[in-house]
Structures are given as C-alpha cells and as structure tokens.
Amino acid sequence: MKPSIPKGTRDFSPEDMLKRNYLFDCIRSSFRRFGFLPLETPSMENISTLMGKYGEEGDKLIFKILNSGDYLEKADEKWLQDKDSKNLITQISEKALRYDLTVPFARYVVMHQHEIAFPFRRYQIQPVWRADRPQKGRYREFYQCDADVIGTDSLLCELELLQLIDDVFSKLSLKVLVLINNRKILSGMAEVLGEAERMTDITVAIDKLDKIGVEKVMEEMRTKGVSEAAIAQLDPFLRFRGSHEEKTALLKELLAGSETGQKGIGEVEELWKYARSMSFSHIRYELDITLARGLNYYTGAILEVKADDPRTTFASSICGGGRYDDLTGIFGLPGMSGVGISFGADRICDVMEELNLFPAAAAVSTRVLFVNFGEEDVPYSLQLLQELRKAGVNAEMYPDAAKLKKQFAYADDRKIPFVAMAGSEERKSGTVMLKNMQSGSQEQVGRENLAAWFTTTQQN
RNA sequence: GUGGAUGUAGCUCAGUUGGUUAGAGCGCCAGUUUGUGGCACUGGAGGUCGGGGGUUCGACCCCCCUCAUUCACCCCA
C-alpha cells in the first residue's frame, strides 16, 4: 500500500524543524520576556469542555474521539436508526481533540484557581486540531502560541499585547498590521439599530466588507432579516473613510444611545492613549469596525494581525485574540476577565518562507564535521570531537572512512559550516585543519586552542 | 457542507489533430580526483502516464466512474 498521512497534516523534515524551532524559540523568549509562565494541557479534553464554546460552526469542526471498545453498545436504538449523528455523538464520544488553547486554559484556571496567583500570565505552545477543509495556510493540525492574562480587566493588558506583537515580529523582521475592534462597539451598534438579537448576523456580514463590498454586505443582512431602517442607518458607516479621530467621532454619534457602545469607544480611546505613548518598530495598528471574529467568547477588545508586506500573498490573519470577560463562568468561576493573543505559528512560518526571512544560521545545527581518515587516525579525531562537545560545540564525525569527496559532499549537503581534518600529520603535530565551507579557506589550529576557536571568536 | 482546478521520473513540468521505443531541467549514483565539497565534463539508474471501465485498428491524449491533491466559499491561526 501507498503510505500517506491525513489530509491537512504534515511531516516536518529536519530542515523544516530547524526553522520551526527557530520561530518557536523567538516567540517563547518574547513570552518569557513579558513575564508569561509556561503551561501545557492535554491534547484531548472531555467533549463537554469544548462543545458550545466556539459557536455552532465551531462544534462541527471539533475532532471527536470515538469511545474505546464496543462504542455502539450503549447507543440509542432509535437514534441509530434515524442516523441522528448529533444526538448519537453524545453517546459514542466523550473526548475530543482541543480546538484552541484558550478554552482548555479557562478550564485549567477554574480547576486550579486556589493555587494560582492572579493576575495569571501564562503562555502555551501546542498543536490544536480543526476538522476544517484544508487550503492555503489552513491546516487540520497546527500550532498555536498563546499568551493570556487572566484575573484583571485592566486595559494595560491590551496594550501589552501590542507590545508583545511588536516584540515578536521585530525579532522575525516581519512588518505587521494589527486590526483592532471592540465587541462592545459591535453590540452597541446592533442595539442602536434595534437589532440587538441579530448582532452575530450583522457582525458576520460586516466582517466580509473588505472582501465582498458594501452592496453584498447589505444584501446578506437583508437575507438574514435585518430591517431596512437599520441597514440604511449603517450605510454611511460602511462607506466611511477617514482618520482615527474622525472614525471615533462618528462612532460616538452613532452609539450615543447605547451604554455598551459608549463603553466600547471609551476602551478604544484609553487603549489608543496608552499606545500613542509607546514606540513600535514593526507594527501599525488601526481601529477596524468591520473586524468581528467568530469566536463567541470575546466580549471586549478583539484583534487580528496580518502580514504588512506588499510581497506576500498571505491575506489571512497570522495572529488573533481578544478579551473574554466570562470564559471561566461556564466552568463555575464567574467574574474572571482575561485577554490573550494567539500566534499562528504555521502561517507565520509560511509567510517567512515566502519572504525569505529565516536567517541562514537557523538552518545550522552541527557546526563542525570531523573527517574519518580510517582506523589509525580515528582515535585522535574522537578525542578532539569529545573536547568540542564538552565545550558546547555541536559536532559530529563521519562514521565511515569513505572517500573524502563523499565526506565533504555530506558536510556541504548538511550545510555544516566547518569541516575538521585530523589525520596523521595533524595527529603528529597536535593540531587540526579547519576548513570554512563557505569561503573554502583553511586554517591549522592547535588542539589546545580548538574549543576556544569555536566558542570565543565570531566564527559563524 | 458547496463550487472550481490539477494528477506524467525523487522534485518542477513538456508531450503536436489520438500513431512505433513517453521527454527536459533539477536531484540521485558512478567516474574524471585514494587529504578536500560547490563548478565543469562523461556515463548510469529511475515511469503499471493516480486507479478502474469504455470508445478506437491504436489512448498520456477522447468519454464515464473513482481516488488523491489543491484553490475558493463558509469559518478561522
């Protein structure tokens, strides 16, 4: 049979992994720089923990795990006959693969509330699974890198997210655009329009504005049953172009009748006040009232990050996040506000690959390869090899006394920057010949200076 | 769940209105060089043309089915 892997999953070659690890290291070190603590949760959760947290669509995209053993034994006869999958699933599956890291985090916080010092800052870098249909930049298994602060509603946390994003993407040399909105503004809008109960429909439609245009957005709202009066009221807003100040001024006007809406604008203005006093190097940020985001649990700020480089073909978001005021409530711990961001490592990887942003050094693992000159000379090489490894230099020796051509070609292929030759001549003189594979130049180094040569100089 | 595209060598792809033995570039292996990789030259290995059925004297090419991949919609990292 032909071997294969499930749709939307991937193998990562050593070359891929070196790059991915570089990326993860960058993100992880930023997280730690900002005081976030590491956390991991199981790949699978009880299905009841996940269901209903991501909206109706989200439920469908959760990978369910079949119960062990004769899983149909306890299944209801009638539901089986009716092919009633929705009800049946509750009887044949009690576990599911995690869909994101935020809900498991909320579950963790509730379970461990008595041992946590709040506000709790945690980061979590783990894969998540979604039963989506794969396409460009969309995988069924992918890594999220989350940083969340829970246990405070201070808007300084939102500001910190901006700083964190800037910190990470500065390291990666990628310019990004941060789109920010606030759910309170969106619900205020629906309220003012007299369509409070249709908020989701309205926001989902508005979210498509830049993709399908004003007319189509209105059409979609009409088909969802939004009143003509409301649509007309929204019209100037959808067509609005202007500065941040003009935008908020217009918003204030529109949302004058909604307490929630006013609050949302207030939050935006406070965040902007803070942000303006900071300096950022790799992010631009703007208020985008068409940003909605699907995840149900967001209640305040929502944000999305896109690559801001004309060369990239990547239009989809590479980070997303926001504030959730009561995610722990459903697990029995109300009044616990949190805010967080999720970096989509796989998409960031794709963008960086496309823009050639991975430094060549990221692909280097072994720094020096020892040539194998045969039995006579191997012991000497082994000693030098051991000395280098003890000094913390990644080093290896070619296992066979193959032709030099082959050994050098191997080093070349592996992108190993240095080849060490320690044959009979070097052994007698207590030296080693180091060849720089990039420049082709060679240098004879005394054994006693070998480790220092790699650790103290700026050699590669 | 809905719609579109593509499946030919390890990879990227040619392949004429259907006509003998299916090609190229890159990669791979060997040699030119038994203490020196990349470059060059020489030689070599490697393909049930995704699978099944049909039309035809004859199918990589036309038709049907199927599988796989991919892009878009929905939604999202």
Residues A131 and A249 in one domain: yes
Residue A253, Cα to own-chain centre: how many angstroms? 37
* Rounded CA–C1' distance between A138 and B7, in angstroms: 22
Is A395 part of a structural domain of the chain?
yes
Kindly tell me if the per-residue pLDDT of A156 is higher than 70. yes
The sheet that has A37-38: what strands, in order across it? A37-38, A120-129, A141-150, A338-344, A319-324, A301-307, A176-182, A283-287
Residue A216: CB less than 7 A from any atom in strand B: no
Please give the radius of gyration of chain A, using alpha carbons only, rounded to the nearest integer: 28
The sheet that has A44-46: what strands, in order across it? A44-46, A95-97, A64-65
- Coil, strand or helix at A29: helix
pLDDT score of A1: 61
Q: What stretch of H or E contains A369? A: strand A368-370
Q: How many domains does chain A divide into? A: 2
Final residue of a structural domain among A354, A377, A411: A354
Kindly tell me if the per-residue pLDDT of A458 is higher than 60. no
Residue A317, Cα to own-chain centre: how many angstroms? 10
Residue partners of A266: CB distance under 8 A and separation at least 6? none
Closest CA to A321 of A289, A350, A347, A295: A295
Instruction: Give the model's confidence band at A230: pLDDT under 50 very low, under 70 low, under 90 confident, else very high.
Output: confident
Residue partners of A112: CB distance under 8 A and separation at least 6? none
Q: Are strands A395-397 and A368-370 parallel, antiparallel or unpaired?
A: parallel
Cβ–Cβ under 8 Å, residues A85 and A133 = no
Cβ–Cβ under 8 Å, residues A40 and A32 = no
CATH of the domain at A147: 3.30.930.10
Instruction: Give the model's confidence band at A459: pLDDT under 50 very low, under 70 low, under 90 confident, else very high.
Output: low
Query: One-letter amino acid identity for A139?
Result: Y
Residues A173 and A263 in one domain: yes
List A434's β-bridge partners, or say none: A420, A443
| CA distance linking residue A54 with residue A358, whole number of Å | 34
Residues A384 and A308 in one domain: no
* Rounded CA–C1' distance between A433 and B41, in angstroms: 30
* Rounded CA–C1' distance between A1 and B46, in angstroms: 20
Residues A373 and A339 in one domain: no
Residues A312 and A406 in one domain: no
| CA distance linking residue A408 with residue A373, whole number of Å | 12
Residue A312: CB less than 7 A from any atom in strand B: no
Q: Which has the higher per-residue pLDDT, A130 or A192? A: A130
Final residue of a structural domain among A354, A373, A404: A354
What is the mean pLDDT of the segment spanning A125-141? 92
A423-436 pLDDT per residue, tens: 999 999 999 999 99
A14-64 pLDDT per residue, tens: 888 999 999 999 999 999 999 999 999 999 999 999 998 888 888 889 999
Query: One-letter amino acid identity for A10?
Result: R
Residue A55: CB less than 7 A from any atom in strand B: yes
A337-390 pLDDT per residue, tens: 999 999 999 999 999 988 889 998 888 899 999 999 999 999 999 999 999 999
* Rounded CA–C1' distance between A11 and B42, in angstroms: 38
Cβ–Cβ under 8 Å, residues A437 and A367 = no
Cβ within 7 Å of strand B: which of A 140-169?
A: 140, 142, 144
Q: Tell me the CA end-to-end span of chain A in Å, nearest whole number.
A: 45
**Closest nucleotide to the alpha carbon of A438, via C1':** B38
Closest CA to A21 of A320, A319, A361, A283: A361
A396-422 pLDDT per residue, tens: 999 989 889 999 999 999 999 999 999
Using left for φ > 0, alpha for ψ between -120 and 50, and beta otherwise, residue A106 falls in alpha
* Rounded CA–C1' distance between A7 and B58, in angstroms: 39
Q: Which domain holds residue A164?
A: 14-39+114-354
A285-333 pLDDT per residue, tens: 999 888 887 667 899 999 999 999 888 888 889 999 999 999 999 999 9
Residue A451: CB less than 7 A from any atom in strand B: no
Residues A34 and A156 in one domain: yes
pTM: 0.92
Residues A315 and A176 in one domain: yes
| Strand B bases, protein C-beta under 7 A | 1-2, 28, 30-31, 33-38, 68-77
DSSP output for A34-71:
TT-EE----SEEEHHHHTTSSHHHHHHTSPEEPPSSST
**Closest nucleotide to the alpha carbon of A60, via C1':** B1
Residue A342: CB less than 7 A from any atom in strand B: yes
Residues A282 and A156 in one domain: yes
pLDDT score of A88: 84
Residues A322 and A384 in one domain: no
Final residue of a structural domain among A303, A335, A354: A354
Residue A228: CB less than 7 A from any atom in strand B: no
* Rounded CA–C1' distance between A54 and B55, in angstroms: 53
Residue A304: CB less than 7 A from any atom in strand B: yes
| CA distance linking residue A187 with residue A198, whole number of Å | 9
